Structure 1
Amino acid sequence: MARDIKAIQCPKCGSIFKQEIKPEFYRCQNCQTEYFLDSDDTHVYHHHERAKPVQSSAPPVNPKLPVYVLIGAVAFIAIVYITTMLLQPKKSATNSYITYKPRRSYQSSFVYTNTATGDPVYLRMGVDYIDKGNGKSEQELHAQFNNAMDGKLIADRLMTDESMRNNRCSLTFKIYSPDMVYAIGCNSVLLQLDTRNNRLTDVTQSTFKDYPKLSSGVAKLDFDYSKPMINVMNNEGETFYYFPAVKKLVDTQTEADKIWKQIYNARRYFEFGYMGDYFDDNKVNQLLEVKYIKGADQNLKRDLTPGRKYFGPAIIYQDENNLMIVVNTTAAPDPPMSIQKIDTETGKILWALPPDKFYLSQVVKCKQGYAIEYRKDEEADYVHGVMVVSDSGKLIHNYQLSRTE
């Protein structure tokens, strides 16, 4: 008997889309019902099993649970924020701003040797501007101490003198001995540098309190660079002369000369001058050795380097056995400069650093050799710092800072 050709439909959903899984056995691609055909019958037999749900140990999930969690989290954050604000102490109107602190502005510097360690120290005076808000600001004056060998900060001390802080006064320094260094600020403030503990202290009152002639107060102070003394003017316009080394105050230049001769009667020192007549047409710079002869009450001078020509010379360091000078390398305007160490007996050049353009402020003896404070001009963007040079003239370290540092 011939078999009719009919479209085979799923007995469950009627779909004709199927997959043959073995001869005359099919799976409906729509509802997954399995069925087969009898070759002698037109019946379709089917078998369908509903897929079992995957078993899970977790309890049934509430579809609204994520919403509840989100609402709870927001509520918790809000409660914590409100509680924190309520418990926070109230701030006054003057403290409600944000403090802004710009870069420190430096105004004067000085290199010296720490008498406890022997290391060179770079002291810089700087002002901090603190923005207080509402157009108001405050100034803080700081004495900053750095080790010139490695640049590490030793101390940063706040200066409390109101006049110096408000007027941003630069300081001038003078060394009377390795452990006796003074500075003058604002023309009338005397400060002493503690070279052991790296501290700068106002000693104006304590230094002059025992002198009745200064009871009216100090109007002006000046370092005298021809003698180891300080010129002092009181508020009545009277001038006096103070010797820190012996703590003596005198009224006249004659008395000052007498004290100087008593203290330095055997002193030998060096200077640039001219041994000939002042009115000579061909005056030249001469490096002179000067010895004070006490019996004759006069200075004996000797040309240490006869025949040598100097351009713009200056002595930058001297003691009984050491002498350092700086000279222009040529007669041209603004030439490079040469730092040289001179033999104090023969006048020979022991060594010279490579010529360079800079301004020298201070040279001190340290355990490494010499510490030389310098500053360069606009061609080098005003870099500055301290060069440490050995006794043999070798550059050991250059603690260099940029213009804004």
Structure 2
Amino acid sequence: MTTVRPLSCPHCGGKEFSFPDKGRCRCLACRSEFLLDETPKPSPARPSGGAGPRRLAALCFLLLLLAGLLYALAPAPAPQPASQPARQRAATPAVTYELQQLALAADPTRDGAPLVLRVRGGLGQKGPAGYVADCYDPRTQAWSEETQRLQDAVGKNAREIRFQAMSDGSLFLVLDKSRLFSFDFAARQWVDARPLLERQPRLAGGVVQIEIGYANEGDALRVMTADGTRRYFYPAVDLAPTYDELRRMVADYRHPQAERRHGFTFARKGAGTSGPQQLIRYAFLDNKTGPRLFGGYLEWDGEGQARHVKRHAHIFRQAHLEATDFFTPDRVYYRASVAWADKEDLIISFRPTPHPDAPSLLQSLDPEDGAIRWTLQCNFDGELVKTADGFYLLQGAKLFRISEGRRPLAEPQRLF
């Protein structure tokens, strides 16, 4: 395309010229001559005035029209809640509890499924005061969504949370030595058990203090009446003897469903020593939920395979203890205890040598012949419970699963 540009004199800007030679030009105003190629080239021509801006304006108009049409066709947005004050938007502070206690149980209403019960208490410094309860299901590995409020305050003189499991599978809870609850497994709720005390003629209206009992006393709760008398309350058989009455009735009392059974304990070589121990199996009359006073400990003397068993006087007088014998005569144990015993399973905790750095072992034995089923290196210091899913170990605020049925896990599985 040919570019057309206006001609002017480079010296005076004149517009009239003569052309004496080809390619040369003479200005008629100043009479100067110059070549046609020396004339300055003008700036590139700009597009003419209105076409570009008009197209841009039309395009913007179309875009605005399209945006308006889309807005009109869009559904109306859901109404948003009004903004909360800054004080309400702040994160809720964590609730802390000064007291906590856990219990491990096999749920009889769910074929022995494992269940962990927790009760926590707070003084009201960082949360509401009082006691609350919830539970943990090891199968789903979840805590209950709602807590149960048991009490609106925590005692000043006595601040305690204590559980007591009975031989029939029932479970009791004592708060601050003043309130008594029993656990309803079907509803998974704690129920006020104070009426049990009121229905007992020797306790009605007179109990001022409640404590859990010792295992060797059977299924008894220790209570103190207003006149200062300590009694042993057996909820399942509705008895409340004093200690002297209990000692006299131990040999003579027979539970309607009493049966002869075998139990296991460890006997030391000499009273009060920390030397080797022998595993003893004893035969006794099981009074189930009734009075029982199998206290104290057994001794054995001699070396190696010595079979002599010495009974302490208060044990010897009991007709319930019928016979004893060495269960594993070829083995000795140190710092030993029976962790669990029933007709199908016997689990003991011990150290294989007296050395202070010796590992702590948890061992499963056949309760019939003493054969070793399995052994785990485990610091046993807690509550071992047999459930439909195997054995679980509760150590303080930690829960471990140590077996699947009768088969031990490669290592304890911590659940929380």
TM-score per shorter chain, which class?
A: 0.5 to 0.7
Q: Deviation digits for residues 234-276 of structure 1, max 9, x if unmatched?
A: 2321111211222332342246526754357423242324499
Partner of 2:128, secondary structure, is strand
Q: Deviation digits for residues 8-65 of structure 1, max 9, x if unmatched?
A: 89xxxxxx753xxxxxxxxx417659xxxxxxxxxxxxxxx6454543596899xxxx
**TM-score, normalisation: structure 2:** 0.65
| Equivalent AA in structure 2 for residue 119 of structure 1 | A
Q: Any conservation in 1 of the 2:334–2:354 contact (CA below 8 Å)? A: yes
Q: Any conservation in 1 of the 2:122–2:154 contact (CA below 8 Å)? A: no
Counterpart-to-counterpart distance in 2, 1:280 and 1:141: 40
Task: After TM superposition, give the deviation of residue 329 of structure 1 in Å.
Answer: 2.8
Q: Deviation digits for residues 172-193 of structure 1, max 9, x if unmatched?
A: 3323223x12233323332212
Q: How does 1:178-197 map to 2 (within 5 A)?
A: 178=169, 180-197=170-187
Residue 122 (1) aligns with residue 111 (2): no
Residue 323 (1) aligns with residue 323 (2): no
Structure whose residues are more often strand by fraction: 1
Q: Any conservation in 2 of the 1:169–1:186 contact (CA below 8 Å)? A: yes
Residue 207 (1) aligns with residue 196 (2): yes
Task: After TM superposition, give the deviation of residue 389 of structure 1 in Å.
Answer: 1.0
Q: In structure 2, do the counterparts of structure 1 residues 17 and 122 end up closer, same or farther at CA, with 3 Å as the change threshold?
A: farther
Identity %: 17
Counterpart-to-counterpart distance in 2, 1:96 and 1:50: 62
Q: In structure 2, do the counterparts of structure 1 residues 50 and 272 end up closer, same or farther at CA, with 3 Å as the change threshold?
A: closer
| Consecutive unaligned residues in structure 2, runs of 5 or more | 1-19, 26-32, 61-81, 287-317
Match of 1:369 among 377, 390, 401: 390
Match of 1:285 among 277, 288, 297: 277
Counterpart-to-counterpart distance in 2, 1:260 and 1:99: 61
Q: How many residue pairs end up in the alignment? A: 333
Counterpart-to-counterpart distance in 2, 1:333 and 1:358: 15
Residue 216 (1) aligns with residue 212 (2): no
Q: Any conservation in 2 of the 1:191–1:201 contact (CA below 8 Å)? A: yes
Counterpart-to-counterpart distance in 2, 1:363 and 1:326: 11
Q: Any conservation in 1 of the 2:389–2:404 contact (CA below 8 Å)? A: yes
Q: Any conservation in 1 of the 2:362–2:380 contact (CA below 8 Å)? A: no
Q: In structure 2, do the counterparts of structure 1 residues 125 and 297 end up closer, same or farther at CA, with 3 Å as the change threshold?
A: closer
Q: Deviation digits for residues 48-104 of structure 1, max 9, x if unmatched?
A: x6454543596899xxxxxxxxxxxxxxxxxxxxxx69xx9xx9xxx9795633265
Aligned to 2:104: 111
Partner of 2:183, secondary structure, is strand
Counterpart-to-counterpart distance in 2, 1:219 and 1:349: 45
Aligned to 2:264: 271
Q: In structure 2, do the counterparts of structure 1 residues 286 and 208 end up closer, same or farther at CA, with 3 Å as the change threshold?
A: same
Q: In structure 2, do the counterparts of structure 1 residues 201 and 281 end up closer, same or farther at CA, with 3 Å as the change threshold?
A: closer
Aligned to 1:393: 407
| Equivalent AA in structure 2 for residue 122 of structure 1 | V
Aligned to 2:361: 338
Q: Deviation digits for residues 297-329 of structure 1, max 9, x if unmatched?
A: 652222212232110111111223432211123
Q: In structure 2, do the counterparts of structure 1 residues 104 and 321 end up closer, same or farther at CA, with 3 Å as the change threshold?
A: same
Q: In structure 2, do the counterparts of structure 1 residues 255 and 162 end up closer, same or farther at CA, with 3 Å as the change threshold?
A: farther
Aligned to 1:380: none
Partner of 2:394, secondary structure, is strand
Task: After TM superposition, give the deviation of residue 344 of structure 1 in Å.
Answer: 2.0
| Equivalent AA in structure 2 for residue 245 of structure 1 | A
Task: After TM superposition, give the deviation of residue 280 of structure 1 in Å.
Answer: 11
Counterpart-to-counterpart distance in 2, 1:189 and 1:314: 32
Counterpart-to-counterpart distance in 1, 2:271 and 2:102: 40
**TM-score, normalisation: structure 1:** 0.66
Q: Any conservation in 2 of the 1:112–1:122 contact (CA below 8 Å)? A: yes
Counterpart-to-counterpart distance in 2, 1:282 and 1:374: 24
Match of 2:379 among 322, 334, 357: 357
| Consecutive unaligned residues in structure 1, runs of 5 or more | 10-15, 19-27, 34-48, 62-83, 376-382
Q: Any conservation in 1 of the 2:268–2:277 contact (CA below 8 Å)? A: no
Q: Any conservation in 2 of the 1:123–1:143 contact (CA below 8 Å)? A: yes
| Equivalent AA in structure 1 for residue 221 of structure 2 | I
